[in-house]
């Protein structure tokens, strides 16, 4: 029996790795071991509960206002012993977080093969997103299996000289997750609150946007809420205190903006499915929105997800307040522009990425 260990630690990794954990557990050829770093605490636990995944190991590393040093050092220190004891045949990491980077580095030091789920995404700008672009390139430097979500990500890997036979285009496991969460007859108090208005769903948390860029973003959205009486903004706030302080400073006193706690993924996906427009600097939401046919204004200067831009669902608007305000206003006042964005096709696979990954591992690990 081959031992496959999955290591993840933040909300988006959990959303995209839990479907894979559940799939791997269906295969008796594998011993599937889950280790969470706890880089996120509450936001990770929400997802584990939703998918009913219980980890064997929980490193519990999160600290309030943690730095990149804190996260990387804690994970490296704690994983060494676990990996040495478990001796997995392969470790699967996801995406571009510090959890993924530190885990891959620990595996490299111990010469344990790494499989990278969501491999090959690139902006080729190490400052944007920071530090994620470094993390994903570093993981790809040492991976043995590249599970690329799209042909574009495969081409990035080939361009960098990664061997063709180690690259597998599987689609993104986030589409697998969406298939289990979105419901037709879903109800939520925030949907009742927004009834009769156009609902703008907001998320924002990127490290490089903290401070002035985030003030610009939030001020533009406040202007929209002040000017459009038939618009309501729902913001499930990231738990980073730096994000929350800025949101409170910019949004307080406007009753058409609701700042709420992070939502369970089931609630979030269903609210996305009912939103008029999504405003975000998130990565994962750029993959989910095309599948739900929802227009997204991406408040970043770069994206590693050009597929959604090419498909027409995503528009990259940067972090300048005036540009964000103008882009939102255009979509609120030009239904045809909004409709064009809604009708784009999903470029992120058929919702069976986890199945393909399990099958590939079965063949390759023998
Ligand atoms: C991390 C990832 C980022 C990913 C994001 C998803 C890195 C470097 N960054 O960024 O790639 O897009 O997660 O959300 O890996 N906090 C809590 N409870 C939680 C989660 C966070 O209190 O459940 C607070 C803590 O004060 C923590 C802070 O948020 O110190 C920042 O968390 P951290 O994981 O360092 O950074 P993120 O911005 O969440
Ligand atoms: N999400 C969620 N609850 C929320 C906000 C977002 O479950 O209140 C989900 C969302 O559907 C997506 C993921 O969290 O799958 C995105 O996470 P985040 O924006 O924190 O990270 P990123 O994708 O930018 O790395």
Instruction: Give DSSP secondary structure letters for 31-53.
Output: EEEEEE--SSSHHHHHHHHHHT-
Q: Which atom of ligand 1 is nearest to the CA of 63?
A: 30
The CA 117 to ligand 2 mean position distance, Å, reads 17
Site to substitute for ligand 2 among 135, 268, 275, 292, most atoms within 8 A of C-beta? 268
For the stretch 144-203, pLDDT in tens is: 999 999 999 999 999 999 999 999 999 999 999 999 999 999 999 999 999 999 999 999
**Pick the residue with more confidence: 136 or 346?**
136
Q: The tokens 């050829």 sit on which residue?
A: 29
Written as six digits, the tokens of 37 are 């770093």
Residue 276 designated active-site: no
Backbone angles phi, psi at 152, to 5 degrees: -60, -45
Q: From the CB of 294, is ligand 2 less than 6 Å away?
A: no
Does 16 have pLDDT greater than 90? yes
- Please check whether residue 86 is in contact with residue 3, taking contact to mean a CB–CB distance below 8 angstroms: yes
Residue 238 designated active-site: yes
3 state DSSP class of 244: helix
3 state DSSP class of 204: coil
For the stretch 74-94, pLDDT in tens is: 999 999 999 999 999 999 999
pLDDT at position 118, please? Answer: 98
Query: What number of residues does the chain have?
Result: 366
**Catalytic-role residue among 96, 140, 208, 287:** 96
For residue 285, the 8-state DSSP code is H
CA neighbor of 288 nearest in space, from 153, 128, 172, 170: 172
Q: From the CB of 236, is ligand 2 less than 6 Å away?
A: yes
pTM of the model: 0.97
Residue 227 designated active-site: no
pLDDT at position 332, please? Answer: 97
For the stretch 93-105, pLDDT in tens is: 999 999 999 999 9
Strands (E), 96-211: 114-117, 145-148, 167-169, 198-203
| Band (345; pLDDT cuts 50, 70, 90) | confident
For the stretch 238-296, pLDDT in tens is: 999 999 999 999 999 999 999 999 999 999 999 999 999 999 999 999 999 999 999 99
Q: From the CB of 42, is ligand 1 less than 6 Å away?
A: yes
Q: Which atom of ligand 2 is nearest to the CA of 174?
A: 15
Q: From the CB of 364, is ligand 1 less than 6 Å away?
A: no
Residue closest by Cα to atom 6 of ligand 2? 268
Share of the chain above pLDDT 90, in %: 98
Residue 244 designated active-site: no
The CA 140 to ligand 1 mean position distance, Å, reads 22
pLDDT at position 344, please? Answer: 81
What is the number of other CB atoms lying within 10 angstroms of the CB of residue 297? 25
pLDDT at position 304, please? Answer: 97
pLDDT at position 117, please? Answer: 98
Q: Which ligand is nearest to the CA of 206?
A: 1
Does 343 have pLDDT greater than 90? no
The CA 64 to ligand 1 mean position distance, Å, reads 9
- When pLDDT is averaged across residues 104-109 and rounded to a whole number, the result is 98
Residue 205 designated active-site: yes
- Please check whether residue 330 is in contact with residue 277, taking contact to mean a CB–CB distance below 8 angstroms: no
**Nearest-5° Cα angle at 22, 304 to 294:** 40
Does 366 have pLDDT greater than 90? no
């Amino acid at each position: 029996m081959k031992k496959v260990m999955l290591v993840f630690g933040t909300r988006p990794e959990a959303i995209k790795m839990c479907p894979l954990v559940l799939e791997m557990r269906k295969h008796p050829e594998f011993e599937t071991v889950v280790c969470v770093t706890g880089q996120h605490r509450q936001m990770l636990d929400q997802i584990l509960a939703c998918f009913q995944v219980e980890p064997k190991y929980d490193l519990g590393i999160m600290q309030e206002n943690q730095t990149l040093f804190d996260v990387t050092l804690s994970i490296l220190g704690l994983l060494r012993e676990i990996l040495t004891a478990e001796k997995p045949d392969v470790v699967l990491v996801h995406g571009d977080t510090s959890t993924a980077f530190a885990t891959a580095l620990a595996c490299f030091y111990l010469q344990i093969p790494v499989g990278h789920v969501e491999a090959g995404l690139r902006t080729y700008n190490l400052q944007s997103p920071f530090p994620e672009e470094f993390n994903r390139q570093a993981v790809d430097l040492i991976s043995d299996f590249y599970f690329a979500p799209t042909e574009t990500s495969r081409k990035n890997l080939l361009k960098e000289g990664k061997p063709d036979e180690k690259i597998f285009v599987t689609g993104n496991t986030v589409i697998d997750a969406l298939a289990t969460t979105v419901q037709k007859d879903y109800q939520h108090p925030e949907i009742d609150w927004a009834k009769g208005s156009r609902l703008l769903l907001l998320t924002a948390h990127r490290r490089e946007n903290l401070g002035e860029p985030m003030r610009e973003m939030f001020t533009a959205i406040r202007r929209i809420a002040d000017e459009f009486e038939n618009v309501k903004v729902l913001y499930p706030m990231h738990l980073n205190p730096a994000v929350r302080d800025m949101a409170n400073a910019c949004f307080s006193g406007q009753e058409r903006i609701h700042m709420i706690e992070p939502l369970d993924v089931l609630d979030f996906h269903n609210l996305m499915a009912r939103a008029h427009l999504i405003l975000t600097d998130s990565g994962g939401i750029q993959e989910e929105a095309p599948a739900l046919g929802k227009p997204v204004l991406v408040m970043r200067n770069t994206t590693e997800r050009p597929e959604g831009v090419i498909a027409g669902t995503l528009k990259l608007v940067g972090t300048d307040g005036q540009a964000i305000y103008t882009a939102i206003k255009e979509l609120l006042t030009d239904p045809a522009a909004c409709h064009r964005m809604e009708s784009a096709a999903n470029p992120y696979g058929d919702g069976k990425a986890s199945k393909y990954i399990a099958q590939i591992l079965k063949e390759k690990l023998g």
